[in-house]
Amino acid sequence: MTSNVVAGGDANPESDRFDDAPHPRQTLGFFGNREAERELLDAFRQNRMAQAWLISGPEGVGKATLAWRLARFLLAHPDRNALQAQQAVSLAVPAAAPASRRIAALALADTFLLRREWNEKTNKHYTEIRIEDVRKVIHLFHHGAGAGGWRAAIVDCADDLNRSSANALLKLIEEPPERALFLIVAHQPGRLLPTIRSRCRKLALGPLSEADVASAVRALGPPWRDLPEESVAAAAARAEGSVREARFPPRRLRRRLGRHRASGARNRDLQLRQAGAGAGDF
């Protein structure tokens, strides 16, 4: 089975990660919204890549996953004229590829993440993306080693910017290094500064189909992959197109898996007893 998740992570809890699910940078599968993925791929291959993309839509439809998917593809294929880039049918990159491992581990000198950071004093995340966080990314962005490829900054999510940090980000977008790319994830793009919105190419993602929600839940790996089909189908039906809404809280998930495994064990025991009884009849 092809893995849809690549190992890697951060030592502290991550504000852009939901519960104990894989982080979007570790998620290799992408479900639904194929037109949006195709728009990014075509823009790259046709040398029409916008400097800044505003990726918007409801929570749980793959906005951050798509942003990391593009960053991973550009890391693996920096030259748009290369044969592999021109023949690609999607932004997929294999789990074993160096780009996938580097992205998952955040072992990068040319891809930067802007998000709410962990406050060591309070053992909680800051409630906003602070101006200090943006300034740190600005410094790294201008001094990072581009290695002849792209320098990408992923903002996840822009809803967490305050006015000061938003203005600092705007200045970076207005005065970027060469071959810079900004991938700005927003649940409510209308809350962004109009000046940031005006400098971005808009890419709106819509709710997923029930089938895509179910496939995305399965692709998260264990323990979601081990849920009974009927539970996943019921969750997808009530999720309104959001993988986040389809997932189960950790305690509830453990209870469901415990019941499912216990039920499976009982069924296996019953089958063995019946088989034994049947064998004794002969």
Can you say how many angstroms the Cα of residue 10 is from the centroid of all Cα atoms in its chain? Answer: 15
Nearest CA to 131 out of 178, 170, 93 is that of: 170
In this predicted model, what pLDDT tens digit does every residue of 221-250 receive, in sequence order? 888 888 889 989 999 999 999 999 887 654
Name the pLDDT band for 278 (thresholds 50, 70, 90).
Answer: very low
β 201-204/111-114 pair status: unpaired
What does DSSP assign to residue 225?
G
Cite the beta strand spans of 68-120 per DSSP E: 111-114, 118-119
Q: What is the pLDDT of residue 82?
A: 93
| 24-206 CATH pick, 3.30.1700.10, 3.40.50.300, 3.40.50.1370, 3.20.20.10 | 3.40.50.300
∠ CA 61-66-69 to the nearest 5 degrees? 145
- Of residues 200 and 2, more confidence is placed in 200
Of 52-61, 62-71, 93-102, 271-280, the least confident: 271-280
Which residue matches tokens 């160096």? 98
Which residue matches tokens 């929570």? 59
Nearest CA to 5 out of 72, 89, 91, 94 is that of: 94
Rounded to whole angstroms, the Cα distance separating 203 from 277 reads 63
User: Residue ranges per domain, the chain?
Assistant: 24-206, 212-280
Please tell me whether residue 4 adopts helix, strand or coil conformation.
coil
Name the pLDDT band for 262 (thresholds 50, 70, 90).
Answer: very low
Nearest CA to 156 out of 121, 197, 109, 113 is that of: 113
Tell me the pTM: 0.85
Which residue matches tokens 């790319």? 181
Rounded to whole angstroms, the Cα distance separating 207 from 214 reads 13
Q: What is the pLDDT of residue 9?
A: 52
Rounded to whole angstroms, the Cα distance separating 181 from 185 reads 13
Question: Contact 244/29 with Cβ under 8 angstroms?
Answer: no
Q: What is the pLDDT of residue 233?
A: 93
Name the pLDDT band for 39 (thresholds 50, 70, 90).
Answer: very high
